[in-house]
């Protein structure tokens, strides 16, 4: 290995490979220990409240409602569809009204529609649904996400553990065939979300409960005062749950890979970059602004503190800038052939990691192996895709630092976000 490339490889070995090793160990732990224990909790069937945040889905929201009404779960499910800005989104409201007669014939399935005529944002919709909910378990779900018919049973079986404060489930890409970019995102969701969250969740080190698919205890949400105003409410709620759980020993936040939802992802490259601009900017906002005081062992506990610093701050925020600075340095100081040789070595390393993680994910977690095996064809290009997304995250973080872009989000009206303390 050339001397000009030496500074990069220790960083990769020290930060990337141990993280993937921890994830793989967690997957093995889940597959052979936790999964067997979860199957023994299937007789736990409390009332479940599904709070569906709706905005401009139109008739597509009916697929979400049907997927929840057709759950094989033996207990009662109440579906609370909250239409934000219903005066401007009458198509979504009318689509929900049309579902009433269909659900009237469903056993133990109730649909309640709450139109919020003035738009207040995602957080206000979830809090309105929480106030109306009567279930022991509350699910916060997106109006454009559909679910496998065993989703509720799988999620609730995990919540049978009284130590489980909340969990998130698997999100799969429903429109994976729409473009090359959606197929890349399907592979990214499999390796970067499903595998990572399974591995970290097995050690109670989960860093985010998805905003599109969160499962909580209603009494815990009520004690915490529901969701707080602002953007990145999913990451914010996860940080608050960690602080809440730290005050009550042996509490956990989990991930259930077999509770499965399906969502559409950006089809075009420009739309994808716009989405990640918000995601990565919000990540910096939550960690560096709103919850910067939480990074202490007395608040989070040593395991979660180390995991959040390592995976959240170092891996997702600091490392992209280190890579950009290093690339600029070698481009300015080294001959082109040395730069190319170093980049090829780095590509080879990430190609090997991507291949191993994809194979492990398919072999140990996938319930749709036929579909996922086709994603192996994208693995040779996947390191390049991940590299572009990582470089773009530096743009998103800089935009948040300079422009405070979290206050200009589609998740809520500007006048709601401007009132945020941070």
Look at residue 36 in the predicted model and tell me its pLDDT: 67
pTM for the structure as a whole: 0.91
| Rounded alpha-carbon distances, angstroms, from residue 197 to 163, 293, 298 | 18, 24, 24
Any idea what the Cα angle at residue 282 is, between residues 168 and 392, rounded to 5°? 105
Q: In whole numbers, what is the pLDDT of the chain averaged over residues?
A: 88
What is the C-alpha separation between 193 and 255, in angstroms, rounded? 10
pLDDT of residue 3 exceeding 50, the answer is no
Q: What are the angstrom distances between the C-alpha of 229 and each of 81, 125, 352, 413?
A: 20, 11, 42, 11
% the chain with pLDDT above 70? 90
The total of other beta-carbon atoms located within 10 Å of residue 37's CB is 12
pLDDT digits (tens, 9 = 90+) for 21-37: 999 999 999 988 776 66
pLDDT of 86 above 90? no
Beta carbons of 167 and 215 less than 8 angstroms apart: yes
CA dist 197 and 205 (Å) reads: 9
Write the DSSP string, 254-265.
EEEEEEEEEE--
Distance CA 91, CA 71 (A): 25
Write the pLDDT tens digit of every residue in 316-346.
Answer: 999 899 888 888 888 898 888 888 888 888 8
Q: Which two tokens stand for residue 167?
A: 């969990």
pLDDT digits (tens, 9 = 90+) for 243-290: 887 766 668 899 999 999 999 999 999 999 999 999 999 999 999 888
Q: Where exactly are the structural domains of the chain?
A: 3-19+299-409, 25-265
Q: Which residue from 287, 315, 321 is spatially nearest to 406, judged by alpha carbons?
A: 287
Q: Residue 171 corresponds to which tokens in the numbers above?
A: 């999100």
Q: How confident is the model at residue 1 (pLDDT cuts 50, 70, 90)?
A: very low
Topology of domain 25-265, per CATH? Answer: Spore Coat Polysaccharide Biosynthesis Protein SpsA; Chain A (3.90.550)
């Amino acid at each position: 290995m050339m001397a000009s490339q030496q500074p990069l490889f220790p960083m990769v070995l020290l930060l990337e490979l141990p993280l993937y090793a921890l994830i793989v160990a967690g997957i093995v732990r889940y597959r052979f220990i936790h999964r067997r224990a979860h199957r023994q909790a299937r007789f736990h069937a409390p009332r479940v409240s599904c709070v569906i945040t709706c905005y401009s889905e139109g008739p597509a929201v009916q697929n979400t409602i049907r997927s929840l009404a057709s759950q094989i779960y033996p207990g009662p499910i109440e579906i609370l569809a909250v239409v934000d800005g219903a005066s401007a989104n009458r198509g979504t409201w009318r689509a929900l009204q049309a579902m009433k007669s269909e659900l009237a014939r469903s056993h133990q399935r109730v649909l309640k529609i709450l139109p919020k005529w003035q738009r207040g944002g995602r957080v206000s919709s979830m809090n309105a649904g929480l106030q109306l909910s009567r279930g022991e378990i509350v699910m916060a779900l997106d109006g454009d996400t559909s679910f496998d018919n065993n989703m509720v049973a799988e999620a609730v079986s995990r919540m049978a553990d009284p130590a489980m404060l909340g969990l998130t489930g698997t999100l799969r890409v429903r429109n994976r065939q729409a473009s090359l970019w959606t197929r890349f995102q399907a592979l990214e969701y499999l390796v970067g979300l499903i595998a990572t969250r399974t591995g970290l969740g097995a050690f109670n080190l989960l860093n985010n409960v998805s905003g599109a698919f969160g499962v909580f205890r209603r009494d815990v949400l009520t004690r915490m005062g529901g969701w707080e105003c602002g953007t990145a409410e999913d990451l914010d709620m996860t940080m608050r749950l960690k602080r809440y759980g730290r005050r009550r020993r042996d509490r956990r936040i989990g991930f259930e890979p077999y509770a499965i939802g399906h969502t559409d992802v950006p089809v075009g490259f420009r739309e994808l970059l716009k989405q990640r601009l918000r995601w990565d900017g919000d990540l910096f906002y939550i960690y560096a602004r709103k919850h910067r005081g939480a990074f202490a062992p007395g608040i989070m506990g040593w395991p979660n503190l180390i995991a959040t610093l390592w995976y959240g701050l170092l891996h997702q925020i600091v490392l992209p800038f280190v890579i950009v600075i290093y690339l600029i340095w070698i481009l300015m100081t080294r001959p082109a052939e040395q730069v190319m040789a170093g980049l090829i070595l780095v590509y080879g390393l990430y190609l090997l990691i991507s291949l191993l993680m994809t194979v492990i994910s398919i072999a140990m977690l996938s319930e749709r192996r036929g579909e996922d095996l086709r994603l192996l064809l994208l693995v040779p290009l996947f390191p390049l895709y991940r590299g572009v997304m990582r470089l773009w995250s530096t743009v998103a973080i800089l935009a948040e630092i300079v422009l405070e872009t979290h206050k200009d989000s589609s998740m809520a009206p500007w006048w709601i976000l401007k009132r945020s303390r941070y």
